[in-house]
Amino acid sequence: MRSPDLPRSFAAWTLAHGIQRALIQRGARKGDLISRMVMDPALRLDPFPAYEELRGRGLISANELISASVDHAVCNEVLRSDAFGTAGGQGELPKPLQWLHHKVIDPDTLGPVDPPSMLAVDPPLHTRYRKQVARAFTARKVGRMGDRVESVAAGLLDDLDGVEDFDLIDRYASQLPVTVIADLLGVPEQDRGRLLELGNAAAVTLDPGLPWREFRRAERAIREMHTWFRGHVERIEANPGDDLISQLVLLDGPDRLDPVELRQVGLLVLAAGFETTVNLIGNAVAMLDEHPEQLAWLLQNPDGWGNAVDEVLRHQSPVQLTLRIALRETVVAGKVFEPGHGILLYFGGANRDPAVFENPAAFDVTRTNADQHLGFSAGVHFCLGASLARLEAAVALRALYERYPDLRVASAPERRGTRVLRGFEHLPVTTGARVVA
């Protein structure tokens, strides 16, 4: 029997992904570089040659649909400009189709790029949501979380005692950030594993032009997350604590969030709280495996882990790109942007801009300006959890290598198939000194 939500789901996919997919595929067949960067699996696995080809074409490139840039200055300017925004999600669509998408999508399947997610709204709405969440990520509160992060890392490593070979992503890189963010949001321990699975399944919706079947799988995961969150709010209302969701539930007056807003804000914080950090830790281990001399330096200079994390964020950005839409006519790098025209900002390319970073393709944990990367975006959408992600990654890596200084990648790792997020699905490691070619 056909699912009763299938027509609605297909309409939402058609508007958010299907039309876009057909246009991108047509461009890719014609050899358009920007389209191929979305569709070509080889460029998903290794996008850096394409970034350099794009750089060679000028500060801003364009096809018949959209513009794109890997220039650090251009990306930074656009991210900080109030002439650009997210335009309410699916901003690349013509206004009538954007309006129709918001009408047909089921509120129980709203994903991270659908309003009222903070990723999909602009000020003043974005400012309202961000103000409520920011209180959990102040420098003082993140600083106080250091002991908890250390404790979680130590516990996970204790669980690995005597295990010589394991999947770093499954057993460590994913478990640390999901535990920390679950603590912050009051998520019961028995729910954390399933939410990690669902968050990973939902993350593909960040990618443009999803195939129908992938969209449906992600949609089912998002629906289950909404159902869980609704029950979580009911539990909190009956017995509030001092976690972030309790604070949001107890808001009153004009600051109070309606049920859809509460779910979208809470689910975004939950998913974003582990997605970036999982990828960051995995990418760091892979890079240090390729550069054992730099790992040896860090083992002798543990104060360098913070800068090493920034270098990983620069060299292997966990978030590779974002989209901004011109909200009014404006000019960037000599190009006129009409309202509604979009630009893809490739962080992964901007973070290797030779105008900013000397020898940008080289991985160097002692790089003095590594922190000038755009790995956490910039402007009003700068990642709220950036300081927490940096703390988690630095603690996780230092603890891992202090316990296992001879840890090496044991066999070929498996990259995630996502375009926006860059990380590993599986990263087999061994704690022994042997290295498998």
d(CA 22, CA 35): 11
Share of the chain above pLDDT 70, in %: 98
Q: pLDDT tens, 407-426?
A: 999 999 999 999 999 999 99
Q: pLDDT tens, 138-148?
A: 888 888 899 99
Pairing of strands 67-69, 342-346: parallel
Q: What global pTM score does this model have?
A: 0.95
Domains and CATH numbers, the chain: 6-430 (1.10.630.10)
* Overall residue count recorded for the chain in this entry: 437
**Using 50, 70 and 90 to split pLDDT, how confident is the model at 3?**
low
Maximum Cα–Cα distance for the chain, whole Å?
A: 63
Quote the tokens at residue 365: 């944990």
Question: Residue 272 has what pLDDT?
Answer: 87
CB atoms within 10 A of CB 7: 11
What is the three-class DSSP state of 7? helix
| Phi, psi angle pair for 339, to nearest 5° | -55, 135
What is the three-class DSSP state of 345? strand
Strand partners, 336: 331
**Using 50, 70 and 90 to split pLDDT, how confident is the model at 98?**
confident
**Using 50, 70 and 90 to split pLDDT, how confident is the model at 294?**
very high
pLDDT tops 60 at residue 1: no
